[in-house]
Amino acid sequence: MFFWNREHKLGISTLVILPLYTAAKDAFMEAHKQYTMLSYLDGQKDQSEIATSHDIVESQVMKHSRALLLLSSDFGTAWNSRKHVLSKKQQFQMFMDEMLLSSLVLSYSPKSERAWSHRRWVIKMIAGKCPNLLEIVGRESELVKMLAENSKMNYRAWNHRCWLVSYMPEAQVLHELQKSRDWAGLHVADNSCFHYRTRLLLRMVEDLQHSQDPNSLSSAELQQLLKEELDWVGSLIMRYVGREALWLHRRFLSVLWMKYFATCDLNISGPLCCESTDICDSSKFVDNELKLYEACTIIPDNDFEDYHTQAIYSATYIIWLAKRMPESFGVELQKKAEDGKLKRLLEKLCPGKSFLWDSLTGHF
């Protein structure tokens, strides 16, 4: 038995995959060739006959390309031929059918770059013409979440989700930030999810700088979100020892703080008042980061290597931060490290990075 069909699921024996692929490719290439030839005849006489042939050949191209893509999801010519036909037809239902086809392809090939790219092309084509675009964007986000559960470290899926942020209204951006938090907390090694949260936070900053809507997110609310994100990531760092993705996300949050909150420069109309939150208090921010560094450089008396990794990440993070912060922070760090603990830590755990300490002391 070469084919298995049950509960709307089709299984194909690997013994016939290659013959099927060859037959589908030959049929598609023949239809594609005929379609290309007819395109050159568009300006000639007897347009009614050519139009009839066009419809037939277009149908063949769509049918055979669909079969081919189900067997070979990254066959670029097949995807491009479908784009060409859809661009000429401009029928909304055909675009929706493309979303269904690419969803089917991604269900068994979730890292297919061509399939993800095709979905983005379809969304661009219907944007501005579709009354339920926000609903489609919401379903897209759910699709990424579902595929990410089944396909770990799926950068292409998360990149697609980051791209969707530009089509989201402010309320949906905030909802996505809250919704993705639980998933990120359970997948602390997946940097792509934290990159998605980075994109959402940057979009909020952009909206605050340019939006004139009085009902939009206020600067105080955004400050509170950043404080909660810093506290949350800090708790994850202490709970999941030695996870680089968490330290990279904290670096982003620190950059966000330094760029916008340390100088109170979020509001384009003037300085931002930070009385409603502690996030703009430089001394408290510095103190919190140093406390995190101290806690992460305590290595238990065991052979658990993740604690060593955690200490290295902590040390390199605090050096990186000191070189980016105003000089007052560097002075504070030097006071904390007068006993040479940081330098000795780097020399012991990672001799190749000990030069970072010298570059820090030479920075001031």
pLDDT tens profile 73-131: 999 999 999 999 999 999 999 999 999 999 999 999 999 999 999 999 999 999 988 88
Under DSSP, the state recorded for 362 is: T
> Range with the lowest mean pLDDT among 163-177, 193-207, 289-303, 330-344?
330-344
Beta-carbon neighbour count of residue 51 at 10 Å?
A: 12
* Residue range 18-51, pLDDT digits in tens: 999 999 999 999 999 999 888 776 655 555 555 6
Amino acid, res. 24: A
At a CB cut-off of 8 Å and minimum separation 6, what does 11 contact?
A: 3, 4, 5
Beta-carbon neighbour count of residue 18 at 10 Å?
A: 10
CA-CA distance, 177 to 170, in Å (whole number)?
11
The single residue listed with the structure tokens 């759910």 is 142
Amino acid, res. 149: E
CA-CA distance, 166 to 175, in Å (whole number)?
14
Q: Of 217, 212, 133, whose CA–CA distance to 178 is shortest?
A: 217
At a CB cut-off of 8 Å and minimum separation 6, what does 334 contact?
A: 361, 364
CA-CA distance, 251 to 233, in Å (whole number)?
11
| pLDDT of amino acid 330 | 59
Q: Which residues pair with 4 in a beta bridge?
A: 11
In contact, 251 and 192? CB cutoff 8 Å: no
Under DSSP, the state recorded for 199 is: H
- Phi and psi torsions of 57, nearest 5°: -70, -40
Amino acid, res. 148: A
Q: What structural domains does the chain harbor?
A: 1-37+54-130 (1.25.40)
Split at pLDDT 50, 70, 90, the class of 306 is confident
pTM: 0.85
| pLDDT of amino acid 152 | 82
Residue 189's alpha-carbon distances to 111, 235, 237, 289, in angstroms, are 18, 15, 11, 21
Give long-range contacts, CB 8 A cutoff, 24+ apart: 52-60.
Answer: 57/31, 58/85, 60/27, 60/31, 60/34, 60/35
